[in-house]
Structure 1
Amino acid sequence: MCNSKQPDTDTITGAIRRPDSPCTHTPTCPPAGRADREAAIVVAAYPEQGWSLLCNGILIFEDTGELLPDGRVVAPHRPVAALV
């Protein structure tokens, strides 16, 4: 990740990188602070361990919990099944 406020150019792909994200594709993934943050692309998946790393720096767990890049924890939020 780049420490400057200006976008950085990836030396391998030539893609523009936002300062707050490793995302280099277009359209860019939603940042970790937005409500649609889970729409980011998976860049590393470890299903045997139950977690994946998203392009915006979020660790997402199979129980739907999340660890945000700033260290905040989002509790699991699976929808409750409708009672029949």
Structure 2
Amino acid sequence: MCKHQPQCPTAECTDREAAYTVAHHPEQGWSLLCNGVLLFEDTGELLPDGRIIAPHRPLAGGRITTAA
């Protein structure tokens, strides 16, 4: 599917999100990558074979403090 040189990571690679964006629809919350992956703004993914990758945003770092 990808015609870039060097080729972008395939949908099966762990770094699949590094592929070029071929369609971007921020108003709808998704982008299509050249490897066929649909990338959603919540960081979830839909792979070309129908598999779903759950959102994987990093957890907020630092300490949470409360007023005493």
Check whether TM > 0.5: yes
Residue matched to 1:43: 22
The number of residue pairs the alignment matches comes to 63
Gaps of 5+ in 2: 64-68
Percentage of matched positions with identical amino acids = 68
Shift of 1:25: 1.3
Q: Deviations over 1:15-49 (max 9, x none)?
A: xxxxxxx2111111100001011100000000000
AA matched with 1:74: I
User: For 2:17, what is the secondary structure of its paired residue?
Assistant: helix
Structure of higher RCO (CA pairs closer than 8 Å, 6+ residues apart)? 2
Residue matched to 1:7: none
Residue matched to 1:61: 40
CA distance in 2, matches of 1:53, 1:25: 15
Shift of 1:83: 3.5
User: For 1:38, what is the secondary structure of its paired residue?
Assistant: helix
After superposition, residues 27-38 of structure 1 pair within 5 angstroms as 27-38=6-17
| Structure 1 residue ranges (4+ consecutive) displaced by more than 3 angstroms after TM superposition | none
User: For 1:60, what is the secondary structure of its paired residue?
Assistant: strand
Gaps of 5+ in 1: 1-21
Question: What is the alpha-carbon root mean square deviation over aligned residues?
Answer: 0.7
CA distance in 1, matches of 2:22, 2:55: 21
